[in-house]
Each structure stands twice: as structure tokens, then as C-alpha cells.
């Protein structure tokens, strides 16, 4: 989708005390990527004109650089209303529509934001996102005659409803309205914070309409503590499992397979139970990943077999290669159609540095071999089982690197 007329303002300041952590809240991970990376990744899918993040100083110090994104510093974290006020004061020329998103609601989909933008239409000044929940920690949307009248924060009103419509936090607004309304937010609550959510009642008082869109709790869930983090991880994994099974990947026991935000798997691949995909995994089609495998930063070609208890890291495995059992493959490039025997270990780390190994195409590495990097094993070569290989193996050669067996008669 290419719509250049909106801006994302992502609120990420504040430590998130309820996490009990030395890490700023929005840097905690779901699917091996920080909450903030989820939000930015999703925002980028919508091709906005601009993305800005409201940060505080401790977060700036730990934040890795997001290309093309402006950071705005909120000196003291006086609440979500204050954060948006500071953002708007810092942004002079802005697109017509502003999407305000909280860094701690990482699972909101771009399709939902698109829905909110269409709901804004011509008649609404603001649109909020609601979801049904029984978790009383959220602000509550008060709806009358199908329009949003007010958001009542959890601390500011009794909520006796079993299930209610909670505020997901994301807000879509016209730039002009947001700029004016946010300046009217006051600090009039026990927490001494400026609540962005007060903007709804302020808009209604100014005779402006406020719309709302409803999402599922699985998508809108916010993260304030470690339980919320675990819940969001669960929702994220469930979503990924559904995504892959719907796109032609067999997950034999979906509930036991764990993905990262950026995992890619091609059609007709089969993933057996208890597999963990860390970041940077790209698998072609017709591959098999066996039980208890773990892959990270690895490209796996079409038709590759990774068997049970195989671990790969920072590697590239060529088409139709088989690594069938109990092997560790690290910082290694393997060509096509090779066979790596059981218990092969790439010794890639010398205690200070990681070194590279290249195994060519159509090679056979015998079981229980140790390949000591840096090492090149060229095409069509064989390594005898139980070898400890320290020297390069030329094309089409057999390397035997083990003690010759001595067999003695027992008296």
C-alpha cells in the first residue's frame, strides 16, 4: 500500500516499572524482536510519510539506530498526553493524518490501522481502537449512540463489568485536530500524568465526532508486565503458526514450534515437533526440519533435510543437502547435495573469534567429525568418520584424520 499522507508517532518513553527490569520496556522481545521493532516494522509496511519515536534518554542510549526515523526526546515522562504534545510541538510540517501508537502494543496489524483510517473518513476528528476484555488494567471506552464519548482510565473509575470495551491505545487523528486538542489536556488525576485518553472527552466537548474500531484481544493486547509479555508471545506464536499452515507449510505439532518475527518458510516444507527458529531464518520449499532442531541466522535451501537435534547458526545450507542428526553447523556455508553425518561439529570459535567453514557441493562428511575453522572442504570430497579436520580438503579428495586402529589379542 502506498499512501504517503500519514505520519506515525510511536510512544516509547518511560522505563515501564511494572516489568521489574533494567531494560526499557519497549526493548523487551516478542518473537526475538523488540516490541519497538514490531511496531516500526508494521508501520513501515504502510509506507507512511514519516515515522517518529518519542523516547527518553535511557532509551536513546540503548536504542539501535532505525534508519530514516526521527527520535524526539521527552525529558520527563509525564504521561502519554505529554508525549504526544511534545511530538506535535516538534513536528511542524505534517501530513494530514497522524497515527499515534504505543510502543507496548506491538501486535497491532497494519490492516487494522487501515480500517481506522477509513473510519476517520470525513466526519471524525479521531478514531480509537477498542477490544473486549476482562482485564481491568486498561482504560475503558464509553460509547453512546455508536460514537465514542470518553475514555475512563482504570484508576479513575470503578469498572464492575465482567467484560468491557478496553482502549487499545492506538489513535488515528487529523493533524489539525490533534495539534489543537492535545494542548488542552490537563494533569488532573491522582497519578499526576497527562493522559492522552482525555483527548476524547475534550474533542466531544468541542463538538467533534470520535469514531472507534474493534479488534481482537490477541491483536490489541498491551504489555506492562512480564505476564503480559508472555501472553503477547503466546498470541504472536499462535498467529505465526496459523500464517504458516495457511501458506502451505506442514507443522506436525504447531503448538511446539516457535518462530521469530522475520522467519520465512517456503511451500511444502515440513516442520516436525519442538523446533525453535531464532532471528534471520529463511527456508526454501520442500525442506524438512526435524524434531528438536534450532536454527538462527540461517538460509536453508529447497529440499534440505535438517534432522533431529541439529543446530545451525550464521550458516547457509545449499539445495538438497542433508544434515540428519545431532550436528552443530556454525558460520558455515554448505553447497548443494552434500551429506553431513551424525554428530558433526563445526568448531567455529577459538575463544576470541568466530571463523568460517566452507563445505562444497556433493561432499560427504562422516559421522562424528570435528571440522576446525577456518576450513575449506572442496566439492566432491569425503571426510572419514571420526576425523578431526584442521587442513583444507582439495576437490575430490578423501581426508582421514584420526588415529589408526590398533587391535591386540587379549591373552
Judged by beta carbon, residue 25 or residue 288, the one nearer ligand UD1 is 25
Nearer to ligand UD1, 26 or 329 (CB): 26
62-69, long-range: CB < 8 A, 24+ apart:
62/23, 62/24, 62/27, 63/27, 63/36, 66/40, 69/40
- Dist. CA 117–CA 43, nearest whole Å: 13
Peptide bond between residue 39 and the one before it cis (omega within 30 degrees of 0): no
The string of DSSP codes covering 61-106 is HHPPPPTT-EEEE-SS---HHHHHHHHHHH--S--SEEEEEETT-T
- What 8-state DSSP symbol labels residue 405? P
Rounded Cα distance, 13 and 78, in Å: 10
Which CB atom, from 18 or from 115, has the smaller least distance to Mg ion?
A: 18
Q: Which does 105 bind (CB under 5 to 8 A by kind): ligand UD1, Mg ion, none?
A: ligand UD1
Instruction: Output DSSP code: residue 260.
Output: -
If the CB atoms of residues 101 and 339 are measured against Mg ion, the closer one turns out to be 101
Give the residue among 206, 216, 228, 305 at the shortest CA–CA distance from 28: 228
Q: What interhelical angle do 80-90 and 175-182 show, nearest 10? A: 120
Residue 238 beta carbon to Mg ion: minimum distance, rounded to whole angstroms:
21
Contact 141, 212 (CB under 8 A): yes
Cβ pair 69, 40 in contact under 8 A: yes
Shortest distance in whole angstroms from residue 101 CB to ligand UD1? 9
What's the order of all strands across the beta sheet hosting 270-271? 250-251, 270-271, 288-289, 305-308, 322-325, 339-340, 364-365, 382-383, 398-399
**Cβ 158 to Mg ion shortest distance, Å:** 21
The catalytic residue among 15, 325, 355, 378 is: 325
| Minimum separation from the CB atom of position 177 to ligand UD1 (A) | 18
Contact by Cβ (8 Å): 269, 250: yes
Which of residues 104 and 198 has its CB atom nearest to Mg ion in the complex?
Answer: 104
* CB 78 to Mg ion: min, Å: 15
> Would residue 325 show up in a list of annotated catalytic residues for this protein?
yes
Residue 26 touches which of Mg ion, ligand UD1, none (Cβ within 5-8 Å per kind): ligand UD1
CB nearer ligand UD1, residue 53 or residue 317: 53
Residue 386 CA to residue 137 CA, distance in Å, equals 59
Question: Which of Mg ion, ligand UD1, none is residue 14 near (CB under 5 to 8 Å by kind)?
Answer: ligand UD1
Cβ–Cβ contacts within 10 Å for residue 148, how many?
24
Cβ closer to ligand UD1: 141 or 300?
A: 141
Specify burial of residue 22 (Cβ count, 10 A radius: 0-12, 13-18, 19+): exposed
Give me the least distance between CB of 24 and ligand UD1, in Å please: 8
Question: Which lies closer to Mg ion via its Cβ, residue 77 or residue 302?
Answer: 77
Q: Which residues bind ligand UD1 (CB under 6 A)?
A: 11-14, 26, 54, 74, 77-80, 82-83, 102-105, 138-139, 151, 153, 166-169, 195-197, 222, 224
Burial pattern 150-187, b for ≥16 Cβ within 10 A else e, equals bbbbeebeeeeeeebbbbbbbbbbbbebbbbbbeebee
The least distance separating Mg ion from the CB of residue 36, rounded to whole angstroms, comes to 13
User: Which residues of the shown chain bind Mg ion in the complex (CB under 5 A)?
Assistant: 104, 222, 224
Q: How many other C-beta atoms lie within 10 A of the C-beta of residue 81?
A: 23
**Rounded to the nearest whole angstrom, what is the least distance from the CB of residue 99 to Mg ion in the complex?**
17
Count of beta carbons in the 10 Å neighbourhood of residue 62: 12
- Would you please indicate which residues are annotated as catalytic (active-site) residues? 325
Amino acid at each position: 500500500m502506498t499512501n504517503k499522507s500519514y505520519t506515525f508517532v510511536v510512544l516509547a518513553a518511560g522505563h515501564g516499572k511494572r516489568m521489574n527490569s533494567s531494560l526499557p520496556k519497549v526493548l523487551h522481545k516478542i518473537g526475538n524482536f523488540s516490541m519497538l521493532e514490531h511496531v516500526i516494522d508494521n508501520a513501515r509496511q504502510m509506507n507512511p510519510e514519516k515515522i517518529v519515536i518519542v523516547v527518553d534518554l535511557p532509551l536513546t542510549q540503548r536504542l539501535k539506530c532505525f534508519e530514516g526515523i526521527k527520535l524526539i526526546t521527552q525529558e520527563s515522562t509525564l504521561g502519554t498526553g505529554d508525549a504526544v504534545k511534545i511530538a506535535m510541538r516538534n513536528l511542524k510540517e505534517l501530513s494530514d493524518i497522524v497515527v499515534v501508537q504505543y510502543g507496548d502494543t506491538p501486535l497491532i496489524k497494519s490492516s487494522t490501522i487501515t480500517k481506522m483510517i477509513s473510519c476517520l473518513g470525513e466526519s471524525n476528528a479521531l478514531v480509537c481502537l477498542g477490544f473486549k476484555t476482562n482485564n481491568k488494567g486498561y482504560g475503558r471506552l464509553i460509547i453512546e449512540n455508536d460514537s465514542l464519548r470518553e475514555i475512563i482510565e482504570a484508576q479513575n473509575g470503578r469498572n464492575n463489568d465482567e467484560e468491557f470495551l478496553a482502549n487499545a491505545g492506538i489513535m488515528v487523528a487529523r493533524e489539525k485536530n490533534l495539534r489543537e486538542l492535545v494542548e488542552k489536556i490537563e494533569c488532573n488525576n491522582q497519578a499526576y500524568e497527562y493522559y492522552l485518553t482525555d483527548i476524547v472527552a475534550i474533542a466531544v466537548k468541542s463538538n467533534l465526532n470520535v469514531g472507534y474500531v474493534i479488534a481482537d484481544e490477541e491483536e490489541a493486547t498491551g504489555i506492562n508486565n512480564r505476564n503480559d509479555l508472555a501472553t503477547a508471545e503466546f498470541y504472536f506464536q499462535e498467529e505465526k503458526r496459523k500464517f504458516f499452515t495457511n501458506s502451505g507449510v506442514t507443522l506436525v505439532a504447531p503448538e511446539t514450534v516457535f518462530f521469530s518475527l522475520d522467519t520465512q518458510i517456503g511451500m511444502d516444507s515440513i516442520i516436525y515437533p519442538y523446533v525453535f527458529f531464532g532471528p534471520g531464518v529463511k527456508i526454501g520449499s520442500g525442506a524438512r526440519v526435524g524434531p528438536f532442531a534450532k536454527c538462527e541466522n540461517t538460509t536453508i535451501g529447497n529440499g534440505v533435510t535438517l534432522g533431529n537435534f541439529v543446530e545451525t547458526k550464521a550458516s547457509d545450507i545449499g539445495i538438497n543437502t542433508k544434515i540428519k542428526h545431532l550436528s552443530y553447523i556454525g558460520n558455515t556455508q554448505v553447497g548443494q547435495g552434500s551429506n553431513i553425518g551424525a554428530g558433526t561439529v563445526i568448531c567455529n570459535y577459538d575463544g576470541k573469534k568466530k571463523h568460517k567453514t566452507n563445505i562444497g557441493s556433493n561432499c560427504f562428511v562422516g559421522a562424528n567429525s570435528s571440522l576446525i575453522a577456518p576450513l575449506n572442504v572442496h566439492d566432491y570430497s569425503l571426510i572419514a568418520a571420526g576425523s578431526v579436520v584442521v587442513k583444507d580438503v582439495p576437490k575430490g579428495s578423501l581426508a582421514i584424520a584420526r588415529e589408526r586402529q590398533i587391535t591386540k589379542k587379549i591373552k
